[in-house]
Amino acid sequence: MNIKIIGVGKLKEKYLKDGIAEYAKRLHKFAKVEIIEVPDEKAPEQLSQAQMDQVMAKEGDRILNKIKDKEYVFALAIKGTERSSEELAAEIDHLTTTGKSDLTFVIGGSLGLAPDVLKRANTQISFGRFTLPHQLMRLVLTEQIYRSFMINAHTPYHK
C-alpha cells in the first residue's frame, strides 16, 4: 500500500512539520508514505481572474507531473463530498481490497486546484466549508488518513 500526499508550497512552520512527521511515522506500519511539495507560483496579492487561472494552471501542471496513471486520486476541494472519518476509512478499505493500492491525496495552493487536477481526480473530498490554510490542511489530512487505518484495524484510537 502506498499513500502519497501532494501539497502546493513549502511547509515552513516547525509545529506543522512535526505533526505531519509524527502521523506519517505512525502510518508507516500500514503503508509507505510519501509527502511531496510542489512549488507554489509566485503572484501579487491582487489578481485578475485570468491571472488566478494562470497561477492555478501552473501549479496544476506541477501536481499532475507527480501523479502516475495507476494512482487513485483524492482531490481536496471545498465543493467535494464530505465524509465522516468512518466513511473515509471504509472507502480506503474498499479501494485497497479491490486492488487500488496507490492512493494519492492532493491539496492545492491558496487559490485551490486547477480544473485539470480536479478532472484527473477519481473523487473530490471536502473537510467542510471552513477555509483552512493549505499548510494546516496537510496536518489535518495526514491525521485523518492515520485515523482511517486505525478504524480499519479496529483499534481504540478513534474513540
CA–centroid distance for 78 within its chain: 12
Task: Give the 3-state secondary structure of residue 36.
Answer: strand
Task: Give the 3-state secondary structure of residue 14.
Answer: helix
Cα 62 to Cα 25, 72, 93, 113, distances in angstroms: 26, 17, 29, 11
Give every CB contact of residue 114 below 8 A, 6+ residues apart in sequence. 56, 57, 59, 60, 61, 63, 108
Task: Give the 3-state secondary structure of residue 47.
Answer: coil
The answer to whether 80 is annotated as binding is no
- How many Cα atoms within 13 Å fall on the side-chain side of residue 130? 8
Quote the radius of gyration of the chain (alpha carbons, Å).
Answer: 15
The answer to whether 60 is annotated as binding is no
Task: Report which of 63, 18, 56 is spatially closest to residue 36, judged by C-alpha positions.
Answer: 63
Q: Which residues define the annotated binding site?
A: 76, 108
State the binding site for S-adenosyl-L-methionine.
Answer: 76, 108
